[in-house]
Amino acid sequence: MKQLLAKTAFLFCLSLSIFYPDSFRVGMMHTHILNSEVFEPITLQMGYNDAVSFTLKSDTLFLEGIELEIKQSAASLKYPNTIAYTIYTEISPEPAKNEIDYTAQKISTALLPNRFSHSIRIPLKEPYNFTRNGNSEIIPYSSSLCLSPFMLRLNPVMKGLPDDIEGARFTVIARPLLIAEGGLKINLQYPDKEQKPVSVQLNGDYLAKYTELQLRQPGQYSIQINSDAYRTETRTCVVERGKTTQLDIQLKSITPLLRVQAPENVMIMLDGEEITSANTPIPLESGSHIIMCKIGTYQLTRQIIVEEGKSYLLTFTMDMLIQEITE
């Protein structure tokens, strides 16, 4: 009967207080700053009159909600309808371990169900894709959840609790609820200051806004860059859920290049002009070119047909061949 009266009084007070800020005192305040939206589960132990606050210090591109699972001990399960949980925002003062008195705006509150585990799913954006299951509830979306810390508070709804529940501990586990997609960022690096037009295909489909972050289902993707001014580039990458994959692609001009490998004492002539900087790739025009290599009185001449978008390597070596002969 005492528990039934406590439950009735709690529901009556709830109907009156949901529109007004609450002033209350906690036994202990736990604080957590979420610097990454894809964070590892956070586990902590709380008493029946404690609270925990969460502050988001990162973007919420992939984070669409946070799940708070509350696990009860055997002691608290013996006394149903005695502990309530409440989600607050607009908390004053700023949550801190050495602060116990607060004023905050209530978002949602309910009696802790008489079962070992109960989960509260808190949406951080609309629309969201996660759903409610048998051991969870979804609280209403509030834009203030992303703008300021939010708090989970446990508190008794009746006085004169038995001694064995005074020492009861509740395990709270915070988990990220991620969107189904991951991000792909394509970063093109151009060979000169003037950026000439390119087309970008992702798995064969043209991307009109390839400079923007692409949200895609997890998996492997093929990227192809085509242009009249640059060489065709093809890459593959893997997109993971809740993560951004950045793909840096260095574009290369279609101007043909000639690289030279030859001893220092070899004179190399290109179309009648001596090549003096053999360590630097030499740009060529498309078409026919004459290359001559000369060392001492020995010289060798070759013709090369140069095509756009190709590179060429000239290697000049002198070798000595010794073999046995029969006289």
Q: Which of 169, 159, 160 is nearest to 77 (CA)?
A: 169
Q: Would you state the pLDDT for residue 245?
A: 96
Per-residue pLDDT tens digits for 121-179: 999 999 999 998 888 999 999 888 888 899 999 999 888 788 778 888 999 999 999 99
Q: Would you state the pLDDT for residue 214?
A: 96
**Residue 240 shares a structural domain with residue 274:** no
CA–CA gap between residue 322 and residue 327 (Å, rounded): 15
Kindly tell me if the per-residue pLDDT of 6 is higher than 70: no
Give 28 or 325, the one with higher predicted confidence: 28
CA–CA gap between residue 281 and residue 273 (Å, rounded): 15
Q: Would you state the pLDDT for residue 323?
A: 79
CA–CA gap between residue 226 and residue 204 (Å, rounded): 12
Q: Which of 223, 250, 277 is the last residue of a domain?
A: 250
Whole-prediction pTM: 0.73
**Residue 262 shares a structural domain with residue 212:** no
CA–CA gap between residue 206 and residue 16 (Å, rounded): 56
The domain total for the chain is: 3
Q: Which of 135, 126, 124 is nearest to 87 (CA)?
A: 124
Per-residue pLDDT tens digits for 11-27: 444 444 556 799 999 99
Q: Are 88 and 106 in contact (CB under 8 A)?
A: yes
CA–CA gap between residue 216 and residue 129 (Å, rounded): 15
Q: Would you state the pLDDT for residue 156?
A: 92
Taking residue 93's Cβ as centre, other Cβ atoms within 10 Å add up to: 9
Distances (CA, A) of 99 to 149, 191, 288: 15, 57, 82
Average pLDDT over residues 96-109: 95
Taking residue 222's Cβ as centre, other Cβ atoms within 10 Å add up to: 12
Q: Would you state the pLDDT for residue 168?
A: 87
Beta bridge partners of 185: 246
For residue 300, give its domain range. 257-315
The answer as to whether 311 is a domain residue is yes
Average pLDDT over residues 306-313: 88
First vs last Cα of the chain: how many Å apart?
A: 123
At which residue do the structure tokens 């969870």 appear? 136
Q: Would you state the pLDDT for residue 46?
A: 95
Q: Which of 132, 158, 178 is the last residue of a domain?
A: 178
Which pair of structure tokens corresponds to residue 36?
């990454």
**Residue 144 shares a structural domain with residue 214:** no
**Residue 282 shares a structural domain with residue 231:** no
Q: Would you state the pLDDT for residue 89?
A: 95
Kindly tell me if the per-residue pLDDT of 3 is higher than 90: no
- State the CATH number of the domain containing residue 215: 2.60.40.1120
Q: What SS3 state is found at 4? A: helix
List of residues 6+ apart from 238 with CB closer than 8 A: 218, 219, 220, 221, 245
**Can you say whether the dihedral through the CA atoms of 54, 72, 120, 179 is positive or negative?**
positive
Q: Would you state the pLDDT for residue 166?
A: 80
Give 159 or 46, the one with higher predicted confidence: 46
Per-residue pLDDT tens digits for 171-201: 999 999 999 999 999 999 998 888 999 999 9
Q: Would you state the pLDDT for residue 327?
A: 67
Q: Would you state the pLDDT for residue 7?
A: 47
The answer as to whether 114 is a domain residue is yes
**Residue 116 shares a structural domain with residue 166:** yes
**Can you say whether the dihedral through the CA atoms of 18, 24, 28, 32 is positive or negative?**
positive
CA–CA gap between residue 65 and residue 138 (Å, rounded): 10
Kindly tell me if the per-residue pLDDT of 217 is higher than 50: yes
The answer as to whether 15 is a domain residue is yes
**Residue 174 shares a structural domain with residue 186:** no
Which pair of structure tokens corresponds to residue 236?
């593959």
Give 72 or 3, the one with higher predicted confidence: 72
**Residue 194 shares a structural domain with residue 223:** yes
Q: What is the mean pLDDT of the chain?
A: 89
Q: Would you state the pLDDT for residue 15?
A: 45
Q: What SS3 state is found at 149? A: coil
**Residue 23 shares a structural domain with residue 157:** yes
**Residue 111 shares a structural domain with residue 209:** no
The answer as to whether 322 is a domain residue is no
Given the DSSP bridges, would you call strands 219-226 and 214-216 parallel, antiparallel or unpaired? Answer: unpaired
**Residue 128 shares a structural domain with residue 66:** yes
DSSP state, 73? Answer: -
Q: What SS3 state is found at 115? A: coil
Per-residue pLDDT tens digits for 235-291: 999 999 999 999 999 999 888 888 888 888 888 889 988 888 777 888 888 899 999
Report residue 9's pLDDT band, with 50, 70 and 90 as the boundaries: very low
Q: What SS3 state is found at 294? A: strand
**Residue 137 shares a structural domain with residue 27:** yes
Q: Would you state the pLDDT for residue 18?
A: 55
Q: Which of 250, 275, 305 is the last residue of a domain?
A: 250
**Residue 62 shares a structural domain with residue 193:** no
Q: Which of 249, 199, 254 is nearest to 230 (CA)?
A: 254
CA–CA gap between residue 282 and residue 260 (Å, rounded): 9
The answer as to whether 233 is a domain residue is yes
The answer as to whether 54 is a domain residue is yes
The answer as to whether 222 is a domain residue is yes
The answer as to whether 326 is a domain residue is no
